[in-house]
Chains A and B, each alone.
Chain A
Amino acid sequence: MVLTGRERDERMEPIVIVENLMKSYKKRKTKEVIHAVKDVSFTVNRGEILGLLGPNGAGKTTTIKMICGLLTPDSGLITINGLNNQKKRLASLRQISAVLEGNRNLYWRLTVRENLEYFAGNRGESRKDIAERVDDLLQKFHLKGKENELVNRLSRGMQQKLAIAVAMLADSEVILLDEPTLGLDVETGYEVRELLREIVKTYNRTIIISTHDMDVVQDLCERTVIINKGQIVTDDKVANLLRLFDVRSYKVTLGGLLSDRQQELLEQKFPSYGYSPDTFQSILEVDLEQSEEIYELFDILKIETTPVESIDRKTINFEQIFMKIVKGDMSDVLVQSS
């Protein structure tokens, strides 16, 4: 897809602005104050798919609830398409729709079409006005033919697709999806991902995805915001993060053991190196700060002319990156990158 200059500018325009968000709770029994969200700020650009990630209890759900207008922040500001979601809550809710609990967001004793019509009616739209859009969505989401089926008779994948279709029908600029592929088989998960990609492409919607499925993030999201202990630890493009972590990790397979001298030098030069000794085939794992350091690694190996069987650049997936970020292993790297 080739974007014109204006389209590119529009895409860069932030549609969701979260500024200095704070929220704390008091534990009922101990009265202990829990700071669920501490000074969280980020933006989401128009037409972007943003991954909002974090381990359980990181403050992700609290942030989502505040963006959706379901929870009032202690302080801070959320603007959705130019509307302050606290001062103009109802108007801002026209700009956002969400699937927060997947198939549980539907009425199981109503049919597919009835669900679509009911939720549209709840936003004040008439059946007549949405008829065309309903048909279009049924077609797009492969639910045509199932429209008169009760939701409780649908497969989980279809229910999930319907929940997303309901959010789409709202015609809002921003769609927030919490765990859109949770509990889906590989094929349906793939289908949902393709659908989301198409939503962004065809309808130019902005999507915020909160998920624990890192494949979804790697596959779909352009950018990711990672929250841990109530604070943002990373806000960067997925491709940047992959590149950043990818170039520095090498796995060297050796045809023998390293000498004490070599290990000493490795300790000095690459303190975080990993070594699995084996008489016939040892494995050496090294993280390099600069790619030129590979020559220094070769120098160390050359001292004893240790046979090198192979050198592999370790392919790191997003799940590993996420774990490293959340554990705080790579804070130095992230500081450098920012």
Chain B
Amino acid sequence: MYWFNLLKANTKKEYLELKRYLPNTLALVLTFYIIFLGMFFGIQIIGDPTTQDINIQFAIVNYIFWFLAMMVINNIGWQITNEAMRGTLEQLCMSPMGLWKIMLSRLIASTVINFILIIALLYLSMFTSGQWLNVDVLAIKPIFVLTIISMFGLGFIIAGISIILKQVQAFLQILQFILAGLTFVPLSVAPMLAFFPFVKGVDLVRDVMIDGVTLSQIAAVDFMILAFNAVFYFIGGLLFFFFCERVAMNKGLLAHY
């Protein structure tokens, strides 16, 4: 029950802050849409007409996942930086639930809330481009869940770094482009990227949404890689976070105070 209450409190807070900082939220959505339009018209004007449709579909899926990765992974780093500046971080660190549980509930909460935004943006993108992707919920759901778990692991790594360094804004800006690289580069170009967090997941989602692959057509080995990535990055990220927390506690960095 403790867990559930923690998750509820953080989901409500995420929602309230999104609502209270409404101009910010709207600007974020608008920026997303404008960049998408830029890509869409770019492909239409200078792209190869024979592969135009597939390129647009490719761009929609990648762009949506990039946005999600930023919202989940980058966001946790920004949150810690902000909390440290506001003076609320030490209150979180003093929670008897443990900081990692608060961070996990924040990750889940921001994923849930941003997921709603992303679905809206996905349909807006498809409507604008006239390219209707195959939204096979049954196939996408397990891939998505496993991919998100590996994203959480990466989120914990970013959270750990942020706790120690606090001023990580510059790093987070660079991270955006690293995340873009991971989502936009297809596995056929760099097969080893399958073992990077969420790359395999994005690739499989592309197969489902663009090529119409069904759940039964996805190879077991693909799911095994996905599951391995999810467990490896989540546990690895969590252990790294614990390590950072311990370092911060030894050096007195756990709070801005």
Contact = CB atoms under 8 A, between A and B. Distances in A.
Interface of A: 25, 61-62, 65, 68-72, 90-91, 93-94, 96-98, 100-101, 104-110, 114, 117-127, 150, 166
5 contacts: A70-B255, A70-B257, A96-B94, A100-B90, A118-B13
Given A62-B252, A65-B255, A71-B254, A124 B13 contact: no
B6 A122 contact: yes
Interface in B213-257: 246, 249-252, 254-257
Given A72-B249, A105-B91, A118-B13, A124 B1 contact: yes
Given A121-B10, A124-B3, A98 B96 contact: no
A160 to B, nearest CB: 13
Interface in B1-22: 1-3, 5-6, 8-10, 12-13, 16-17, 20-21
Nearest to A120: B9
A19 B7 CA distance: 37
Given A105-B88, A109-B20, A118-B9, A70 B93 contact: yes
B88 A106 contact: yes
A116 to B, nearest CB: 11
B93 A90 contact: no
Contact of A122 (B16, B20, B92, B254): B92
A123 B97 CA distance: 6
Please list the 10 inter-chain residue pairs (A to B) with the smallest Cβ-Cβ separation, ordered nearest first: A121-B9, A104-B87, A124-B2, A93-B96, A101-B87, A94-B96, A109-B20, A72-B249, A126-B5, A70-B254
A33 to B, nearest CB: 14
Given A65-B255, A72-B249, A118-B9, A105 B87 contact: yes
B18 to A, nearest CB: 11
Contact of A104 (B3, B5, B88, B249): B88
Contacts of A124: 1-3, 5-6, 96-97
B5, B92, B256: residue with the most chain A Cβ atoms closer than 10 Å: B5
Given A25-B252, A121-B9, 12 more contacts: A68-B94, A72-B250, A101-B257, A105-B91, A107-B13, A109-B20, A110-B16, A110-B20, A118-B13, A121-B5, A124-B6, A124-B97
A118 B86 CA distance: 16
Interface string B167-197: 0000000000000000000000000000000
Given A65-B257, A110-B13, A124-B2, A98 B88 contact: no
Contacts of A108: 86
B250 A101 contact: no
B232 to A, nearest CB: 26
A152 to B, nearest CB: 10
Given A90-B98, A94-B96, A122-B92, A107 B255 contact: no
What class of interface size applies to chain B in its complex with A?
35 or more
B102 interface: yes
Contacts, number: 110
B254 A121 contact: no
Contacts of A101: 87, 90, 256-257
Interface string B63-96: 0000000000000000000000011101111111
Nearest to A107: B88
Contact of B94 (A93, A106, A118): A93
Contacts of A109: 16-17, 20-21
Nearest to B21: A109
Contacts of B98: 90
A119 B90 CA distance: 12
Nearest to B4: A126
Contacts of A126: 1, 5, 8
A125 B6 CA distance: 7
Contacts of A123: 95-97
A119 B252 CA distance: 23
A90 B249 contact: no
B246 to A, nearest CB: 8
Given A65-B252, A71-B252, A122 B257 contact: no
Nearest to A94: B96
Contacts of A68: 90, 94
Given A101-B90, A107-B13, A109-B20, A122 B95 contact: yes
Contacts of B16: 109-110, 114
Contacts of B13: 107, 110, 114, 118
Contact of B86 (A104, A119, A121, A127): A104
A44 B21 CA distance: 43
Contacts of A117: 9, 12
B7 to A, nearest CB: 9
A118 B12 contact: yes
Contacts of B87: 100-101, 104-105
A29 to B, nearest CB: 15
A126 B90 CA distance: 21
